[in-house]
């Protein structure tokens, strides 16, 4: 629906400038990210691809505010994250970012809706409203009838849908998905990809790390990493980027 | 995240691990219940023994004049002024009184003649404080009767029954023969007291009951024709400090009369040592219970550390979706406090029940003091707090990336 807006006019959600990440262990230094710059705008569906060791996971951790860069800047929704302390980073993760992990990362003792509502607990939302919003989020991934099931009573695909609902519930600026289909069979994989496409179509901005070309092919754009460097920026959905 | 949220989530997590939670609490339960049971039994036992001792004269001392000494009879041995002097100069005395005891035979004046052998004690207000009896008919001797040395007498209820059967003995006259002095006097009965040994008689332990009577000291002095005493009875305020008080009393008497013919003894030999032993035993029991509580605390810490290690992934997830360090810290701290508080509560109940079961078998009524219960609650909260801080701190400091990677 907002595909009609020109790409140029869209708001910038992520702005990465000259970003380095260097790991030091003793005398050894490893440049996990090397002079990376790019921007992601509202409504994009970007795949970050690369082989293992290419720096895509490091990129994901920094994008997700779980880690901080060694140098360079990362602005999320206009906030320069390099100046934030641990508690402020936690707040950014809580309010601006929705995570979807490869291994679902649901709490096994909580029911679906309680898992979905968990981020709202940490942002201080009232208990009644939490349940309403959790059920709403579960509905948007088609799991409203599994609200009282625990993770071990659900299939892999359903678990990942619960995780997506948990990412959606805070109405984040951006959804970060780290190999979301890595642990799923092909039927569930297709199901999850469809949900992401639907959410993106409804306006959600999504960044997805993957190493599978067929998964990446569903995105609007692919950013490829190799040895910590951004080597290729590949447009898939030419219609979306028609004005550049 | 507010306190209620943290509390709910802690409860949820503890209930999710019922078996482990229970095992963790076991240390605290054993520790607290032993504190409660031991102190209740200890206090009950102490009270029982102290009660028995008090009835049999625990904490009461007698000062005697050595009547075989050369100096005796040449000087005033013990008189009313000596007692006043001691009362004014020595602190910590609850009661001090002369004691004179005579063998008598008593005879009722009306109806069929009944004669009985008896013991008569001289009595004073202080004597009534030391050798307490319960008056069941009539009244004790009045202060005016003490002052005037009136010919009134109080007798034990068994003797009253033998002399007068069902008739009321009050106001009746009896004739009393002081056998050593070869004197006979008439007395009016004004009161009847419970025979001090009647409880033993009722359960058939004692068939030969001595007959007890009391008359005012001034009357006794008049009959004996002397105001010198051979025996003083002293009751210190603090039974455990008795010896110190008595030493000072003796010093006072010796310096006043310039003589060393005075000596003292406990009515119940080594009564104060017995009480000391009991108290030491109580302290020892509490010490042992304290160690078991400490071990229980270590157990809580141990399990909380295991729990942190087991839940690294959970901590990572919570942090990734926005939990701050303090949220994690409070969650784990609350869990350990709840664990030890619930353990403490169960310990109090268990200890309470245990003390009654033990008490039933060793025939002691346990006394669970509110102070000990309160202290137990405080201690178990503190255990949760102190031994929970380290694991909770560890949990809250985890790096979310490493935590998420943990499988």
Contact yes or no for B187/B105 (Cβ under 8 A): no
Ordered alpha helix ranges (H), chain A: 56-63, 86-96, 112-122, 127-140, 156-168, 186-201, 213-216
pLDDT at A218: 92
Ordered alpha helix ranges (H), B139-270: 143-148, 157-164, 198-202, 217-224, 242-257
Same domain? For B237 and B380 the reply is: no
Distance CA A53, CA A46 (A): 19
pLDDT at A146: 93
Same domain? For B37 and B92 the reply is: no
Same domain? For B210 and B102 the reply is: yes
pLDDT at A80: 92
Stronger pLDDT, B82 or A198, i.e. the higher one: A198
Ordered alpha helix ranges (H), B57-124: 80-89
* SS3 category, B403: helix
Same domain? For B43 and B72 the reply is: no
Q: How many CB pairs under 8 A join A and B?
A: 62
Same domain? For B336 and B223 the reply is: no
**What DSSP string describes B269-308?**
TTHHHHHHHHHHHHHHHHHHHHHHHHHHHHHHHHHHHHHH
pLDDT at A16: 95
A126-140, B160-174, B260-274: range with lowest mean pLDDT: B260-274
**What DSSP string describes A166-231?**
HHHTT--SEEEEESTTTTS-HHHHHHHHHHHHHHHHTT--EEEEES-HHHHTTSSEEEEEETTEEE
Same domain? For B104 and B196 the reply is: yes
Contact yes or no for B32/B343 (Cβ under 8 A): yes
Q: Per-residue pLDDT for A145 more than 90?
A: yes
Same domain? For B81 and B209 the reply is: yes
Stronger pLDDT, B377 or B270, i.e. the higher one: B377
Q: How much is the mean pLDDT over chain B?
A: 83
Q: What is the mean pLDDT of residues A154-161?
A: 93
Q: Per-residue pLDDT for B47 more than 80?
A: no
Same domain? For B46 and B171 the reply is: no
Virtual torsion, Cα B162, B165, B171, B172, nearest 10 deg: -60
Q: What is the mean pLDDT of residues B267-280?
A: 70
Q: Per-residue pLDDT for B146 more than 50?
A: yes
**In total, how many domains does chain B have?**
2
* SS3 category, B184: strand
Contact yes or no for B95/B235 (Cβ under 8 A): yes
Last-in-domain residue among B236, B251, B269? B269
Instruction: Name A226's bridge partners.
Output: A229
| A43-66+84-235 to CATH, choices 3.40.50.300, 3.90.550.10, 2.160.10.10, 3.20.20.140 | 3.40.50.300
Q: Per-residue pLDDT for B204 more than 70?
A: no
Whole-prediction pTM: 0.68
Dihedral of alpha carbons B243, B245, B251, B253, sign: negative
Give contacts of A123 with chain B, Cβ < 8 Å: 322
**Which residue on chain B is closest to A98 by alpha carbon?**
B321
Distance CA A175, CA A184 (A): 19
The domain limits of chain A are 43-66+84-235
Last-in-domain residue among B238, B269, B300? B269
Share of chain B above pLDDT 90, in %: 12
Instruction: Quote helix, strand, coil % in chain B, to nearest 5.
Output: 55, 20, 25
Question: What is the distance of C-alpha A243 from the center of its chain?
Answer: 26
pLDDT at B74: 55
Confidence of residue B17 (pLDDT cuts 50, 70, 90): confident
Q: What is the mean pLDDT of residues B381-390?
A: 88
**What DSSP string describes B113-136?**
--EEEEEEEEE-HHHHHHS---EE
CB-based contact (8 Å) between B168 and chain A?
A: no
Q: What is the mean pLDDT of residues B375-396?
A: 88
Same domain? For B130 and B198 the reply is: yes
DSSP letter for A145, please. Answer: G
Q: Per-residue pLDDT for A76 more than 90?
A: yes
Q: Per-residue pLDDT for B205 more than 60?
A: no
The two three-digit tokens of residue B143, written as one number: 């202060």
Stronger pLDDT, B396 or B241, i.e. the higher one: B396
φ/ψ bin of B302: left (φ > 0), alpha (ψ from -120 to 50), beta (otherwise):
alpha
Give contacts of B326 with chain A, Cβ < 8 Å: 87
Q: Per-residue pLDDT for B258 more than 80?
A: no
Interface pTM, i.e. ipTM: 0.92
Interface touch A66/B317, C-beta < 8 Å: no
DSSP letter for B75, please. Answer: B
A6-20, A52-66, B226-240: range with lowest mean pLDDT: B226-240
Which of B1, B316, B320 lies closest to A121 in CB terms? Answer: B1
Interface of A with B (CB under 8 A): 61, 64, 66-67, 86-87, 90-91, 93-95, 99, 101, 105-107, 109-110, 118-119, 121-124, 127, 166, 170
Same domain? For B234 and B173 the reply is: yes
Distance CA B384, CA B387 (A): 6
What is the H or E stretch that residue A83 is in? none
Q: Residues A18-38: pLDDT tens digits?
A: 999 999 888 888 899 999 999
Stronger pLDDT, B399 or B277, i.e. the higher one: B399
Q: Per-residue pLDDT for B162 more than 70?
A: yes
Same domain? For B154 and B217 the reply is: yes
DSSP letter for B140, please. Answer: P
Name the residue range of residue B352's domain: 3-52+274-405
Same domain? For B384 and B313 the reply is: yes
Interface touch B327/A122, C-beta < 8 Å: yes
Q: Residues A172-207: pLDDT tens digits?
A: 999 999 999 988 999 999 999 999 999 999 999 999
The two three-digit tokens of residue B19, written as one number: 């078996």
**Which residue on chain B is closest to A68 by alpha carbon?**
B401
CB crowding B202-220: b at 16 or more within 10 Å, else e: eeeeeeebebbbbbbbbbb
Q: What is the mean pLDDT of residues B4-9?
A: 82
Stronger pLDDT, B225 or A89, i.e. the higher one: A89
pLDDT at B203: 47
Q: How much is the mean pLDDT over chain A?
A: 91
Residue keyed to tokens 């003649």 = B113
Cβ–Cβ contacts within 10 Å for residue B29, how many? 24
């Amino acid at each position: 629906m907002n595909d009609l807006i020109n790409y140029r006019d869209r708001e910038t959600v992520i702005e990465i400038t000259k970003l380095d990440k260097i790991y030091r262990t003793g005398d050894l230094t490893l440049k996990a990210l090397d002079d990376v710059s790019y921007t992601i705008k509202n409504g994009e569906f970007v795949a970050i691809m690369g082989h293992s060791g290419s720096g895509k996971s490091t990129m994901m951790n920094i994008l997700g505010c779980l880690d901080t860069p060694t140098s360079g800047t990362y602005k999320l929704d206009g906030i320069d994250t390099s100046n934030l302390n641990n508690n402020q980073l936690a707040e950014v993760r809580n309010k601006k970012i929705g995570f979807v992990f490869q291994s679902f990362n649901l709490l096994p003792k909580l029911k679906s809706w309680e898992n979905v509502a968990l981020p709202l607990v940490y942002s201080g939302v009232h208990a009644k409203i939490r349940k309403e919003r959790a059920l709403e989020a579960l509905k948007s991934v088609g799991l409203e009838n599994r609200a009282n099931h625990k993770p071990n009573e659900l299939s892999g695909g359903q678990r990942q849908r619960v995780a997506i609902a948990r990412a959606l519930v805070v109405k984040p600026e951006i959804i970060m998905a780290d190999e979301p289909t890595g642990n799923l069979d092909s039927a569930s994989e297709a199901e999850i990809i469809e949900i992401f496409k639907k959410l993106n179509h409804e306006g959600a901005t999504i960044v997805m790390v993957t190493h599978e070309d067929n998964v990446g092919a569903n995105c609007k754009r692919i950013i490829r990493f190799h040895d910590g460097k951004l080597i290729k920026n590949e447009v898939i959905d030419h219609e979306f980027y028609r004005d550049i | 995240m507010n306190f209620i949220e943290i509390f709910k989530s802690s409860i949820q997590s503890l209930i999710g691990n019922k078996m482990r939670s229970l095992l963790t609490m076991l240390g605290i339960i054993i520790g607290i219940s032993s504190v409660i049971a031991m102190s209740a039994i200890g206090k009950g036992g102490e009270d029982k023994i102290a009660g028995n001792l008090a009835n049999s004269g625990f904490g009461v001392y007698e000062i005697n004049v050595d009547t075989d000494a050369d100096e005796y009879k040449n000087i005033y041995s013990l008189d009313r002024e000596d007692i006043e002097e001691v009362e004014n100069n020595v602190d910590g005395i609850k009661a001090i009184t002369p004691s004179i005891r005579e063998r008598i035979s008593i005879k009722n004046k009306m109806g069929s003649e009944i004669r009985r052998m008896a013991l008569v004690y001289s009595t004073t207000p202080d004597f009534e404080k030391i050798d307490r009896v319960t008056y069941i008919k009539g009244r004790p001797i009045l202060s005016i009767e003490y002052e005037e040395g009136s010919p009134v007498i109080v007798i034990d209820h068994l003797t009253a029954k033998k002399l007068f059967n069902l008739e009321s003995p009050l106001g009746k006259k009896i004739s009393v023969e002081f056998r050593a002095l070869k004197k006979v006097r008439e007395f009016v009965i004004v009161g009847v007291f419970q025979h001090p040994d009647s409880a033993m008689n009722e359960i058939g332990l004692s068939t030969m009951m001595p007959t007890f009577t009391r008359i005012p000291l001034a009357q006794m002095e008049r009959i004996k024709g002397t105001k010198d005493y051979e025996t003083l009875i002293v009751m210190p305020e603090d039974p455990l400090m008795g010896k110190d008080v008595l030493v000072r009393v003796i010093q006072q008497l010796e310096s006043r009369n310039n003589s060393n013919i005075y000596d003292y003894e406990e009515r119940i030999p080594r009564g104060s040592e017995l009480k000391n032993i009991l108290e030491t035993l109580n302290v020892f029991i509490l010490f042992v219970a304290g160690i078991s509580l400490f071990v229980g605390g270590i157990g809580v810490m141990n399990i909380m550390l295991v729990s942190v290690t087991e839940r690294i992934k959970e901590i990572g997830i919570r942090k990734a979706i926005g939990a701050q360090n303090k949220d994690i810290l409070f969650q784990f701290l609350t869990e350990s406090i709840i664990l030890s508080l619930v353990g403490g509560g169960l310990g109090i109940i268990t200890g309470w029940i245990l003390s009654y079961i033990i008490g039933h078998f060793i025939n002691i009524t346990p006394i669970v003091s509110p102070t000990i219960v309160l202290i137990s609650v405080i201690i178990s909260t503190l255990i949760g707090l102190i031994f929970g801080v380290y694991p909770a701190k560890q949990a809250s400091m985890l790096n979310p990336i490493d935590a998420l990677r943990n499988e």
